[in-house]
Structure 1
Amino acid sequence: MTLQQTPAGHPADAESGREPVVRLSGVRRHFGQTPAIDGVSLTVRKGEILGLIGRSGAGKSTLIRCLNGLERPDSGSIQIEGREITKLSEEELQPVRRRIGMIFQHFNLLSRKTVEENIALPLKIAGWTKEKRLARAAELIDLVGLSGKARSYPSALSGGQKQRVGIARALAASPALLLSDEATSALDPETTASILELLKDINKRLGVTILLITHEMEVIRTIADRVAVIDAGRIVEEGPVWSVFANPHTETTRNMLSGIRPNLPPHVAARLVGEPSGEAILGVDLSGPDAGNLLAGLSAELPDGFRLVHGGVDHIQQQSVARFFIGIPPAADALARAIAYLQRHGAKVEVLGHDPRHV
């Protein structure tokens, strides 16, 4: 699947049949001479989960602050549900902000207020009656799995429970967009998995759009529909999660994926040599229906066989994504036949070197 672009650099919205909730065009924000955001164009469509991933300092936090109006971009356009927000006054921004729910890394709960009071606080500020806001809080407490905790205080809650309160509070005013800012990075792996499952369920049940900001590729893999990689204030790669994982185009993306994609074991990489001496080690990437059967077909192609050094088949968004490291024996024309076979089936193949221990 190829991500089609409009002339302005946005994914083609007509293709999805869903209107944009967020549309950024050429957004720039500098602090002194340093560009925090450097010409970002990005679309988040209604009902999708878009993961925005980048290292610390890449521009994620500044981008969030521009989206909710806490920072003003130096140039470019930001539209929320079709409304340009960059020139709005503070008063004019208030109804836009009510359409955006924020989920924070460190929960940002008020310690002297109960669970239901924390959840209902945005509604109190918006002028809802006490009866209506407590009724809404009760609905959300049930939705996020905190039944029986309405009168509890944050000090009595676990980290995961606190984040569930934060999610419920973000949903209080029925926003069109949830901004999740590193919402799981302070949690242990088991709690992280439960929070991501909750966000995925909320997305499906309520149809709410989620922009998920993170530095963890595993979070993107688990929950996002699409991923955009930001580096030095620029979007350097964008596409469906399975496609980016299967074939990352930039060094930034490859480095961020290195912790969760199979890599050639260091002790094998250390002994590889450039000259054709011994077994040729290939790196092979393939996605799609042929991925799971690739090696079986290669066995039939090579009479002298081959060696599986490392790797396997993953499943992302119901797509098979394979990454293998295989050794081809130094038999006559075996390497050429292997490469031809793999490329014929759509695989990306790289000769990484030769292992003199296997001759």
Structure 2
Amino acid sequence: MSLPNRADPIHIQPTGREDVVRLVGLKRRFGATAALDGVSLTVRKGEILGIIGRSGAGKSTLIRCLNGLERANSGEVFIEGREIGRLSERELQPLRRRIGVVFQHFNLLSAKTVEENVALPLKIEGRPRAERLARAAELLQLVGLSEKARAYPASLSGGQKQRVGIARALAARPALLLSDEATSALDPETTRSILTLLKDINSRLGLTILLITHEMEVIRSIADRVAVIDAGRIVEEGTVWQVFANPKSEITRSLIGSIRPQLPSEIASRLVPGEGAETILRIDVAGEAARGALLSDLAAAVPGQFRLVQGGVDHVQGQPVGTLFLAVAGAGAAHLAQVTTFLKDRGARVEVLGHVAGPV
């Protein structure tokens, strides 16, 4: 479905590839508060892009600017190549049908059946009843709820309600699906099932998905790329595994910290600067560096006593990403330099966290 032509010139930004969304220098202020402060971002056709940030970072304002509910103070919003900033409310209506939204709290109409909720966007669009019901049946089969077509939302579980919400968001065959904290109100098991469904829809339909979340686990599970937003700015962006492997901003390190190995608090509380019986190193590895026998190679090449006190290797987008905490016994400056040089030469990032007086 293409947007209707306008008589006046349309600002099309050539990109050299199919971009569903392109934001250029987007700014939105509320009084003295900058909700968005120069956001530039691209969502490519067929990808899952995750935008993550804490509450108040600007995620909700970003969504509202995407579908024209908020007008930016400056900058440009392109949807499928069309800049929407100068469109009237009437002109925005067909564009909004190109964007499906899945909400945190489902937003289903309690007085309508499941199939009526799914078909609602098509009813608003003026589609014939038979077409609406056929499309609703097709989508309910896609989300695994065909048997609930005549049920009412009150009889559904949270996960089932969200599946209905996803089906409704797909009713008008959108080019972009916005998932606005869609799993925040769900338990972990249900969250996994919803994320699996979104990934399946992305794969089967080639649908572009923009995930808005504050949960790094959601990003790790299904996103292709991630953009980290803080205080209205994109502070970091890249493929998920590379950002996980080498977070550059403090906010990203904090968000990732909740799902990456951490030094046990009883050891962290004993760390002191200077020297001690053992030196505690944090070693981050990813890709090829995480596939080799790093610690056994270290023990064979560098004299000394080494103990792994905490850590593990995860797999993100098929790439190994690991964090290890190593205790090095009696490490003087020269010995420690030899250890860190060996590890860095093999692609690891090494940080000396401190020293402890006795064995940990």
TM-score (norm 1): 0.94
Q: Distance in 1 between matches of 2:123 and 2:276?
A: 74
CA deviation profile, 1:285-308 (whole Å, cap 9, x unmatched): 111122132222112123333010
Q: Is the 8 A contact 2:302 2:339 kept in 1?
A: yes
Q: Is the 8 A contact 2:121 2:171 kept in 1?
A: yes
CA deviation profile, 1:39-58 (whole Å, cap 9, x unmatched): 00000000000000011100
Q: Distance in 2 between matches of 1:299 and 1:203?
A: 45
- Two-structure CA RMSD over aligned residues (Å): 1.4
One-letter code of the match for 2:211? L
Listed as ranges, the matches of 1:39-188 within 5 Å are 39-188=38-187
In structure 2, the residue matched to 1:249 is: 248
Q: Distance in 2 between matches of 1:353 and 1:89?
A: 60
One-letter code of the match for 2:355? H
Q: Is the 8 A contact 1:328 1:334 kept in 2?
A: no
Q: Distance in 1 between matches of 2:296 and 2:167?
A: 49
One-letter code of the match for 1:242? W
In structure 2, the residue matched to 1:5 is: none
Q: Distance in 1 between matches of 2:180 and 2:301?
A: 49
Q: Distance in 1 between matches of 2:331 and 2:31?
A: 61
Q: Is the 8 A contact 2:289 2:348 kept in 1?
A: no
CA shift, 1:280, in A, is 1.0
One-letter code of the match for 1:328? V
In structure 2, the residue matched to 1:300 is: 300
In structure 2, the residue matched to 1:27 is: 26
CA deviation profile, 1:145-183 (whole Å, cap 9, x unmatched): 102110000001000000000000000011000000000
One-letter code of the match for 2:158? G
Q: Distance in 2 between matches of 1:279 and 1:211?
A: 46
Q: Distance in 2 between matches of 1:13 and 1:273?
A: 53
One-letter code of the match for 2:335? A
In structure 2, the residue matched to 1:314 is: 314
Q: Secondary structure at the match of 2:217?
A: helix
In structure 1, the residue matched to 2:188 is: 189
One-letter code of the match for 2:298? L
CA shift, 1:331, in A, is 5.1
Q: Distance in 1 between matches of 2:15 and 2:201?
A: 23
The 3 A distance-change label for structure 1 pair 239 and 331 is closer
Q: Secondary structure at the match of 2:146?
A: coil
In structure 1, the residue matched to 2:257 is: 258
One-letter code of the match for 1:152? A
Q: Distance in 2 between matches of 1:188 and 1:263?
A: 24
The 3 A distance-change label for structure 1 pair 331 and 230 is closer
In structure 1, the residue matched to 2:356 is: 355
Q: Structure 2: where are the runs of 5+ without partners?
A: 1-13
Q: Secondary structure at the match of 1:334?
A: helix
CA shift, 1:263, in A, is 1.0
CA deviation profile, 1:322-357 (whole Å, cap 9, x unmatched): 111101111564322211110101111111111111
In structure 1, the residue matched to 2:324 is: 324
Q: Secondary structure at the match of 2:160?
A: helix
Listed as ranges, the matches of 1:180-219 within 5 Å are 180-219=179-218
Q: Is the 8 A contact 1:301 1:337 kept in 2?
A: no
Q: Is the 8 A contact 2:23 2:78 kept in 1?
A: yes
TM-score (norm 2): 0.94
Q: Secondary structure at the match of 1:152?
A: coil
In structure 1, the residue matched to 2:11 is: none
The 3 A distance-change label for structure 1 pair 13 and 82 is closer
Q: Is the 8 A contact 1:53 1:216 kept in 2?
A: yes
In structure 2, the residue matched to 1:4 is: none
CA shift, 1:13, in A, is 6.5
One-letter code of the match for 1:195? I
Q: Distance in 1 between matches of 2:215 and 2:324?
A: 23
In structure 2, the residue matched to 1:229 is: 228
One-letter code of the match for 2:257? S
Q: How many positions carry a matched residue from both structures? A: 345
Q: Is the 8 A contact 1:242 1:319 kept in 2?
A: yes
One-letter code of the match for 2:172? A
Q: Is the 8 A contact 1:290 1:345 kept in 2?
A: yes
Q: Distance in 2 between matches of 1:164 and 1:349?
A: 44
Q: Distance in 2 between matches of 1:128 and 1:305?
A: 73
Deviates more, 1:303-312 or 1:148-157: 303-312
One-letter code of the match for 2:352? V
Q: Secondary structure at the match of 2:288?
A: coil
Q: Secondary structure at the match of 1:148?
A: helix
Q: Distance in 1 between matches of 2:87 and 2:296?
A: 61
CA deviation profile, 1:233-264 (whole Å, cap 9, x unmatched): 00001011101111110111111111101111
